Amino acid sequence: MLHGMGNGSSLCRTRHRTMNIASAIKPSLRSSLCWIVLGWGLLIAPLAGQEPDPAQPEELTQPEEGVSNELTAKAIGILLEKLEGDSTLDEAVKASLTETYGQVLESLSLAEENARRAALYSEVDEGAAARLQSMADQREALPSPETAATLPANWTIENLEKQRESERAEVEGLHSQLDAADAQLVELRSRPVQIGARLPEARSELLEAERILSAGPLEAGDRKARAEHALARARVLARASEVELLLQERDSQPQRLALLQGRRDLLASQVAVGEARLAAI
């Protein structure tokens, strides 16, 4: 799958840029996202049909004096404060830069959320079999509706009234959970089609962000170009993490569907038992 990896210098440049971009994400998610972006960086060079600009990575990301080049929410916040306090900057330029860096923050936030969700999907396999077995055991342990309808002979009218209210509330709660599970099953079964439609779009957007990122060296003092460059870096993170999220969601679909169906079946059995008991009271 990863054909076209023979150019060592291109790989080194991609790895360097990837490590730089990955610093935008929290430490707990940074490692996985670093390899997500690196993997796509390796794919992008041959797919884009051209080699990245031969300039050194430092030339592409050299910050202007007094401004951090770290791509984090904190660093971007400091940069925005500097922009706001810069009385020498034209207001229209300031507004444009502020808007662009606001988009950078949005992309960084999206990348972090994508990575968090992808990590959850990747863990679905862990304990899935045990959870399915547990739900099957719970269903097996339930009394039959006929047995549930048999009431203790020594119950008083007061016992019956209290039990009726308790059973009614429990059955209503189980019905709500069952309805929610049915709705979730409908949504889950529709996701493969939605993922199939979105995945090529996200990959295309990732390629475009990489193309912009590799366009060439930045000129010192060109604030607009630097803002666009930062936005391209953030969008690479956002799109790469979205692609990984979609792949993890797609690959975990069978397990998640089985788990949700198991929960739905357990709830249906609990509802049947509860309704039988309630009808007998």
Q: Which tokens is 123 given?
A: 């863990």
Q: Which tens digit of pLDDT belongs to each residue from 149-207?
A: 887 777 777 778 888 898 899 999 999 999 999 999 999 999 999 999 999 999 999 99
State the pLDDT at residue 254: 96
pTM above 0.75, yes or no: no
State yes or no: pLDDT of 82 exceeds 80. Answer: yes
Q: Which tens digit of pLDDT belongs to each residue from 21-44?
A: 444 455 445 444 444 444 443 333
CA distances from 53 to 13, 50, 57, 216 (A): 10, 9, 9, 6
Q: What are phi and psi of 184, to 5 degrees?
A: -65, -35
Residue with tokens 């150019």: 7
Q: Which tens digit of pLDDT belongs to each residue from 207-261?
A: 998 998 887 666 667 888 889 989 999 999 999 999 999 999 999 999 999 999 9
Task: Give the N- to C-terminal CA distance of the chain in Å, as an integer.
Answer: 65
What's the rounded Cα separation, in Å, for the pair 236 and 33?
11
Q: Are 115 and 241 in contact (CB under 8 A)?
A: yes
Q: Are 261 and 185 in contact (CB under 8 A)?
A: yes
Position 180: which residue type?
A
What's the rounded Cα separation, in Å, for the pair 274 and 61?
65
Position 106: which residue type?
E
State yes or no: pLDDT of 67 exceeds 50. Answer: no
